[in-house]
Amino acid sequence: MRRYLIYSVCLLFLVTVMACGRGSNGKVVSEGIIEFEASAVDPNNPMADLAPNKMVVKFKDRRSVAEMSAGMGLLTMSFVSDYNNKTVTQLVKLLNKKYASVANADDIQKEISNSKLRIQKTNETKLIAGYRCKKATISYEDNSRPPFDVYYTEEIELEKPNWGNEYNEIDGVLMEYQLKRYNLELRFTARRVAKSTIEDSDFETPGDYKLISQKELDDLFVGMQ
C-alpha cells in the first residue's frame, strides 16, 4: 500500500449525485447508481497496478456514497456526501481496522481555496453513459500539470453538484475527469447510470468504525509507505 491510496478523498466531492434528471436517452433517474471506470493517466507509473479500476456511486435524497477498493480488497474506502448538512464522511477499512473521518463545510472550503485550478468552459459536447456532456479545459496557475479536458452534464438536475471540490465553478455532474493524489493521476469515466433502490443505511456510519481526525487518517497511510 502507498499513501496515494487516499487520493480518493476528493472523489465523492466530484460526483455528488443526489437528485433527478433526464438524460439524452430520456431516462429519468432520481435514485440509483453511477458506475465509473478508473485508469491511470500514465500506465507506466509504478503505482498504477495498485490503483482501483472501478468506482460505484449510489445516490438518493441529496445524498451520495462512492465506494472503491484497492490492494486486491485489502483496503476499502467509502465517501458519504450529505449536501443537507454540508458534510463528507470518509470511511476506511484496512484489514480488520475500521476508521471514519468527517469533514464539515469549513474544512471543505479550506481545501477548495488552496486549489490553483483554472476552468475554461467550451461549447463542445459528447455523449457519456447516455448523457450529453459539455467539455471544459483544465489548467493550473503554477503549470505544475499539463492541461486536460473534463466533461460534465447538465441533464441531471442537481443543486450545486460540485459544492465540495475544486471543480465548484462547474454547475453540472462530472462524468469524465482527472484527479491526482500522491504522485498518481487517474482518469474517471462514467460507464453506466441506472435506477436502483438505495437503502438509507448505505449513507450511515457503522457503529464499529472509530472516529478519527483527517490528520490521523493521513498519518495512517503515511505509516504504510
Confidence of residue 22 (pLDDT cuts 50, 70, 90): low
Mean pLDDT, range 108-134, rounded to an integer: 91
Read off the pLDDT band of 158 (50, 70, 90).
Answer: low
Residue identified by cell 443543486 is 159
What pLDDT, on a 0 to 100 scale, did the predictor assign at position 114?
A: 83
* pLDDT-based confidence at residue 2 (cuts at 50, 70, 90): very low
Split at pLDDT 50, 70, 90, the class of 156 is confident
Integer Cα distance of 165 and 140 in angstroms: 15
Q: In whole angstroms, what separates CA 214 from the centre of its chain?
A: 17
- Give the closest residue to 115 by CA, choosing from 166, 179, 184: 166
Instruction: For residue 27, give every residue at least 6 positions away whose Cβ sits within 8 Å of its Cβ, in sequence order, or none.
Output: 130, 193, 195
pLDDT level of residue 189 (50, 70, 90 thresholds): very high
Task: Give me the domains of the chain, ranges plus CATH numbers.
Answer: 3-222 (2.50.20)
24 band by pLDDT with thresholds 50, 70 and 90:
low
Q: How confident is the model at residue 109 (pLDDT cuts 50, 70, 90)?
A: confident
Supply the pTM of this predicted model.
Answer: 0.82
3-state secondary structure of 182: coil
pLDDT value at residue 21: 53
According to the model, what pLDDT value does residue 126 have?
97
Label residue 23 by pLDDT band (50, 70, 90). low
With beta carbons less than 8 A apart as the criterion, state whether 20 and 29 touch: yes
Q: What is the mean pLDDT of residues 52-77?
A: 86
Q: Over 70: is that where the pLDDT of 119 sits?
A: yes
Burial 176-215 (b: 16+ CB within 10 A, else e): bbebebeebbbbbebeebeeeebeeeebeeeeebeebeee
Spell out where 141-182 has E strands. 148-153, 173-181
Helix ranges, 77-191 (H)? 105-113
Band (pLDDT 50/70/90 cuts) for residue 12 is very low
